[in-house]
Structure 1
Amino acid sequence: MSARHLASLFSAQTSRRWLLGGISALAFIGLVVPGLAQAQAQDKASQLRIGFQKSASLLTLQKSQGSLEKRLAPHGVSVKWVEFPAGPQLLEGLNVGAVDVGFVGEAPPIFAQAAGAQFVYIGNDPAAPEAEAIVVPKDSPIKSVAELKGKKVALNKGSNVHYLLVRALEKAGLKYSDIQPVFLPPADARAAFERGAVDAWVIWDPFLAAVERQTGARIVADGRGLVNNYAYYLAERGYAARNPQIIQALFEDTVAQAQWLKANVKAAAAQIAPLQGLDTEVVERALQRYQFGVRPLTAEVASEQQKIADVFLGLGLIPKPVRIADALPTK
C-alpha cells in the first residue's frame, strides 16, 4: 500500500459525558472476539507496541508521562512507542506486524482495508470537524473553495483531509477532477505551501494551527457542516483477541489523561509543545479544536465510515469496495 495522516473544549458537563462514553468502551473491549478471556490467559503478550504520530497530542502526552508504562508494569507488560509521520504509514506498520495498536483519522483505515490489511476497529474519539481545514496563503486572492478550480491543492494522500477536500469541493459545485491534487506529507506540503508551489493546503491540527499562527494562512473552509473527522483506535485482530486486558488498560489510561488534559489545557500544551517542536500557543489552539475520550463504535459512526469508503470507491481512489463491517469487532 503506497498511500501516505491529527477541538473546541466542551463544557465541564459535556466533557464528563464524553469521558463516561470512553469508560464504557472498557466493557466493550471484552466483546471483541468470543473467548477473549481464555485466549488471553493462554497467550498474553508481554509488550504493547503503539503506533502513534507526534501530532497526536494526547498520545504524545501519555508517552512523555509514562503513565501507561506505570499502569502495565505490575502485570509484566512493557510499552513500545513507534512513531510514524502520518496515518497511512502507521497502517502499513500495523499490517506488517510492526505495531499492535494504532491511532489514525478516518481515511487511512479505508485505504488500508482496500489493500487487504487485517485490523479491527476497537474505539473512536468524538468528532472534531474544526481540527482540519483548507488553507491558502494570507495574500492569496482565493476567498472560497469554488475558486480552487484548476488550482494546485496539497494534501497527504489517504489521510483524513482527503475526504474533507472531496466534500468541500462537492459543496462548492466542483468535482474532484476540477483541482490538481498534489500528494505530499505534512512537512513537504508546508514547504511547498510557503514557497508558492501550491495554491492551497488541506491539513489537520496541530499543523493547521502552526501554519495559521506562523504564516498568517487563511482558512477558506474547515470540516464544520462537511465532515465529522473522527479519530480511530485500531488493533491487529489477533492481538485484540488475545489481550483484551492490555487494551482495556490503554483505554483506562487514555481516558484518565484526557480528563487531566481537558482540565489543564495550558499546562498540557506547555508539556506537549516542546515534544512536537511547536509554540505553546499553537498546541493550545490545536487542543481546543480536538475532542478526546475513547468510546466504542456505534452503528452510526460505522455507517459514516462506510459512506467515506463508498465515496472513495466512486472516485477511483480505492481499487475495490470496502465493507467497514468486516473490520468491526465480533460481538
Structure 2
Amino acid sequence: MSAARPLTTLRTLAVVAALPLLLTACGYGSKSTDDGKKTAVAASAKKLSTDEVKIGYFPNLTHATALVGVQEGLFQKELGGTTVKTATFNAGPSEIEALNAGSIDIGWIGPSPAINGYAKSDGKNLRIIGGSASGGVKLVVNPKKIKSLKDVKGKKIATPQLGNTQDVAFLNWIAGQGWTVDAQSGKGDVSVVRTDNKITPDAYKSGSIDGAWVPEPTASKLVAEGAKVLLDESTLWPAKRFVITNIVVRQDFLKKHPDVVEAVLRGSVKTNEWINANPEKAKASANTALEKLSGKALPADVIDPAWKSITFLDDPLASTLHTEAEHAVTAGLLDKPNLKGIYDLTLLNKVLKAEGKDKVDDAGLGTK
C-alpha cells in the first residue's frame, strides 16, 4: 500500500486520474449546472435575513431529500419570502469549489468531499449541519465470472473515482480480505478500475469490468443488465447505517444568516418525514425531478430496487464519517485529518426538538 499523501496531492491525483471522467463521492461526472431556477414566492410571504439562498445538490437518488424538497416546495414553504435558487452538480470537488466561491450557500454532498474540503481549508470553509441519506451502495458483479466473495480476487472491479467514498470503502474491504492493492494505481490482487458511473453500465456490457462497487442508481442499472448484487455495503456497518449524503453550509453564511439555515434544515426534516411517510409518492416526485434535470426518468426496474436500498434520515451518522476518514488514511489516500469542528448540529437539534424528534450526536467532532 502506498504511503499517505497530503490532501493537496490527493485532490490533484483524483482530478488527474478521473479527467474528463471526474466524479463525486456519490459518483457522477464533472459538470456543474447553475439551474438559475428560483421557486415562486407568494407576494405576502415574509422574507428572512437575506433575499435568496443558493442550494446545491446532485441529480442523484442519494440526494432525494433535496430533489423532493425542491420539487414539492417544502423548502420554499419554510423560507417564506426568501427565494430558493438551485444549482446541480455532478462532482463533489466542483460543489466544494462553488461553496468556497459563494456560488452556493448550502449543499447536499458525500462524506469524502466534505472531509477533504474541510481539511484542505484548515477547517475554515464549511460545517456539516445535518444528515440526509444512508446506504444505497452495493458490490454488483457478473454472475458468470464471480459466484462468491472470494472470486473477486483477480477480477476487474469499477469504483467511481480515485479516493471517493466508494473507492475508499472497496479498498478497505479488499484489505479486510487479506489482499493487497496499490491505492493509487488500483493494481494488485484485485484490479480497481476508476470509471465514471455514467460509463460503468456500458463498461459492464462490453466485458471490460467484471463488476462494480457503486452507489444507486448505478448498481440497479447494472442489475438490469444482468449483474448480481454480491454485497450490500450496509451489511458491513453497525445497525446497517453509514453516511452517504450530508448537508453542508458555508461558515460565513451560517454566521450571517442562521435563520435561513434553520429554515432549510426545517424543510429538510419535514421532507424526510414526508418521504418516509409516503415512499411511493416520494419516489415518483424524485423521478420527476430527475427527468426535469436530465431529460430522462429512471425506469421502474432501476428506480424501484434503488429506492428501497436508501434510508432518508436527519442524523448525519457522525461516527461513520470518522470511520470513513480512517479508512482513507489506512488506504494511503489521506493524511490523518483533524475533523474537530466539522459538525455544527445546533440548529438541526433545535429543529428536531421543535418537531418532537430525538437529538442527534456529533461524535465529539462538533464546534465548541
TM range (shorter): 0.7 to 0.9
Identity within the alignment, %:
23
TM-score by length of 1: 0.77
Query: What are the within-5 Å matches in structure 2 for residues 51-62 of structure 1?
Result: 51-55=56-60, 56-62=63-69
**2:220–2:303 contact (8 Å) kept in structure 1:** yes
Aligned twin of 2:88: 83
Does residue 1:203 correspond to 2:214, yes or no?
A: yes
Instruction: Give the partner amino acid of 1:60.
Output: L
Map 1:128-139 to 2 at 5 A.
128=135, 131-138=136-143
Q: How has the CA–CA distance of structure 1 residues 98 and 152 changed in structure 2, closer, same or farther, with 3 Å as cutoff? A: farther
Q: Calculate the aligned-residue CA RMSD, in Å.
A: 2.4
Contact 1:305–1:324 (Cα < 8 Å) also in 2 = no
Task: Answer yes or no: is 1:156 the counterpart of 2:156.
Answer: no
Counterpart for residue 299 of structure 2:
279
Q: CA deviation at 1:167?
A: 3.1
**Which protein has the bigger helix share?**
1
Gaps of 5+ in 1: 7-42
Deviations 1:246-280 (A, max 9, x none): 12111211222222222222222223224332024
Q: In 1, distance between residues paired with 2:208 and 2:138?
A: 19
Distance in structure 2 (CA, Å) of the matches to 1:137 and 1:274: 31
State the secondary structure of the residue aligned to 2:179: coil
**Structure 1 stretches of at least 4 aligned residues deviating more than 4 Å after TM superposition:** none
Measured in 2, the distance between the counterparts of 1:215 and 1:172 equals 28
Larger RCO (CA under 8 A, 6+ residues apart): 1
- Compared CA separation, residues 106 and 175, structure 1 to 2 (3 A): farther
Using the size of structure 2 for normalisation, the TM-score is 0.70
For the Cα contact (< 8 Å) 2:54–2:85, is it kept in 1?
Answer: yes
* Alignment coverage as a number of residue pairs: 284
Q: What stretches of structure 2 of length at least 5 have no aligned partner?
A: 1-10, 15-22, 27-47, 183-188, 291-296, 345-366
Partner deviation per Cα, 1:138-180 (whole Å, 9 max, x = no partner): 4x31123332223322112243312321232133222343322
Shift of 1:53: 0.8
Q: Which residue of 1 aligns with 2:110?
A: 105
- The 8 Å contact of residues 134 and 312 in structure 2, kept in 1 or not, is answered as no
Secondary structure at 1:150's aligned position in 2? coil
C-alpha distance after superposition, 1:199-230 (max 9, x if no partner) = 22111122222332x21211121113324431
Note the C-alpha offset of 1:113. Answer: 3.2
Please name the residue that 1:226 is paired with. Answer: 236
Q: Distance in 2 between matches of 1:242 and 1:146?
A: 53
Change (3 A) 1:302 1:176: farther
Deviation at 1:238, TM superposition (A): 1.1
Pairwise CA distance, 1:114: 4.1
